[in-house]
Amino acid sequence: MIGKVFNAETVILVIVSLAIGLVGFFSHYNTPSATQISYQQTPEMGEFVVVSFPPSTSEQEALKSFSLSPAVDGELQWLEKYHELIFIPKEGFDPSISYTATVKPSSLFAQLISDDNQNTFQPKKLPAKFNAQIPGDPVIYYITEAGLKRPTTLEIFLSYTDNKEEDIRLLDRLDLDLYPDNNLVRLEQQPDVYQIKNNTKHLIQNAETFNALGFDWSTVAPVNQFEFDSYSNGEDISLSALPHQQASQGKFIDINLQSMELTMWESGQVVGKVPVAGTGNPKTSPTRKGFFTILSKEENHLSSLSRVWMPWSMRYSGDYYIHGWPYWPNGSKLTSKYSSGCVRLFDNDMEKVYQFGDVGTPVIVR
């Protein structure tokens, strides 16, 4: 009789132990606490929501568990290599609306022991008018009122009386790269505008030249005398020095954001025109206007930020590219309408532009 009682107690203990073990197993691997939900932006893909799942999650489980409220027209992509589910809105998120991304537990048992995992976000323009730094990097970046970044030294930073080192925000490289470069400045209380290239300032001679370059007056940042004097003096920029007037001497690429057309010029002649297929979202991350040059070329560039391939890529400023239509590792093309600043072309058209342009070819975005 004593033996039977002992055996019964043992069975009960085993059952309890198994139950505790199962709870621990599902809590660690299959509950929302093991997932991460975030809202992100990248120059080539625009806005998206990414959910990182534990390795044990299957594509079917991930797709079934995700929901977004209010609902938005878009696509879901499962990246098996990274165990990530990505949602990309077709026409971007509305900055006046708050959205909630939800991931439900993947099993009935997990649902009994865990709540849903949620992340509520409201898309908006990137914050501006602050100083930032990448951890371990001595360069301090001023993020201007127009949402552009300008690198400065600690000495320049401290020359502005209101600046304090403790107010510098730490950003990672991915967030910093979302800000295009600030290359237009003027001395405080003075009207003359200068373009900064390689730490050298070039006076833009007049408004006609400024407008011909396709620049935006709202992107001109005021600087104090100390920073102004830190830049060496370069040649003035005049109408006669613009690619339009120097077309007989070489190539340039003209991107007109109003007509959504890219024109290739060589030796004073138009050698080709192609439609622009997509640009930055005008509500949150418009494509920046200005005068640039092709910095690098790559027949097919894999974005480490977005996990997408960008055919016939030509980088012209920071992490901003002219490129063909992005596609996923499985070969399917991105369906979103906007980027976060890159210029998209249809693949066949982009191949022609890629073959035409060289590293150093001037680019005007206007």
**Mean pLDDT, contiguous 10-residue spans, the chain (366 residues):** 49 47 44 75 88 92 94 94 93 90 70 65 83 96 93 97 95 85 94 93 89 82 97 88 58 91 90 95 83 92 88 91 94 90 95 96 88
Task: Assess whether 162 and 269 both reside in one domain.
Answer: no
Residue 119 β-bridge partners: 101
State both tokens at 310: 């960008």
Task: Assess whether 305 and 198 both reside in one domain.
Answer: no
The CA angle 319-321-327, to the nearest 5 degrees, is 105
Return d(Cα 283, Cα 214) in angstroms, integer.
20
What residue type is assigned to position 242 of the chain? L
* Residue that terminates a domain, selected from 190, 207, 238: 238
pLDDT at position 109 is 43
At 276, is the secondary structure helix, strand, or coil? coil
Is residue 192 assigned to a domain?
A: yes
Mean pLDDT across the chain: 85
* Residue that terminates a domain, selected from 200, 217, 238: 238
Q: How many domains does the chain have?
A: 3
Task: Assess whether 191 and 111 both reside in one domain.
Answer: no
Task: Assess whether 282 and 299 both reside in one domain.
Answer: yes
pLDDT at position 41 is 86
Is residue 24 assigned to a domain?
A: no
DSSP state of 148: -
Return d(Cα 245, Cα 263) in angstroms, integer.
15
pLDDT at position 121 is 84
Sign of CA dihedral 142, 143, 144, 148: positive
pLDDT at position 245 is 52
Task: Assess whether 232 and 247 both reside in one domain.
Answer: no
Task: Assess whether 141 and 191 both reside in one domain.
Answer: yes
Task: Assess whether 135 and 89 both reside in one domain.
Answer: no
Return d(Cα 134, Cα 105) in angstroms, integer.
36
| Helix residue spans in the chain (DSSP H) | 2-29, 59-65, 108-113, 154-159, 173-176, 207-212, 225-230, 347-356
The residue behind tokens 């390689």 is 198
Distances (CA, A) of 214 to 89, 207, 290, 315: 30, 11, 5, 19
Residue 262 β-bridge partners: 255, 274
Return d(Cα 274, Cα 260) in angstroms, integer.
9
Is residue 289 assigned to a domain?
A: yes
Return d(Cα 102, Cα 120) in angstroms, integer.
9
Best CA proximity match to 75, nearest among 352, 358, 330? 330
The string of pLDDT tens digits covering residues 200-217 is: 999 999 888 888 777 788
Is residue 102 assigned to a domain?
A: yes
State both tokens at 20: 């505790």
Is residue 14 assigned to a domain?
A: no
CATH code, domain carrying 113: 2.60.40.3710
Task: Assess whether 165 and 115 both reside in one domain.
Answer: no
What residue type is assigned to position 243 of the chain? P
Task: Assess whether 225 and 159 both reside in one domain.
Answer: yes
In 43-104, beta strands by DSSP E: 46-52, 66-69, 74-79, 84-89, 99-103
**Distance in angstroms between the alpha carbons of the first and the last residue of the chain:** 93
Task: Give this prediction's pTM.
Answer: 0.66
Give the range of the structural domain holding residue 195, as residue numbers without chain letter.
Answer: 130-238
Is residue 23 assigned to a domain?
A: no
Whether residue 219 contacts residue 288, with contact meaning beta carbons closer than 8 Å, is answered with yes
User: In what helix (H) or strand (E) does residue 144 lie, and over which residues does it extend?
Assistant: none
State both tokens at 280: 């930055």
SS3 content of the chain, % helix, strand, coil (to 5): 25, 35, 40
Is residue 3 assigned to a domain?
A: no
Task: Assess whether 200 and 304 both reside in one domain.
Answer: no
Task: Assess whether 153 and 211 both reside in one domain.
Answer: yes
* Residue that terminates a domain, selected from 174, 207, 238: 238
Task: Assess whether 218 and 254 both reside in one domain.
Answer: no
What residue type is assigned to position 54 of the chain? P
Is residue 66 assigned to a domain?
A: yes
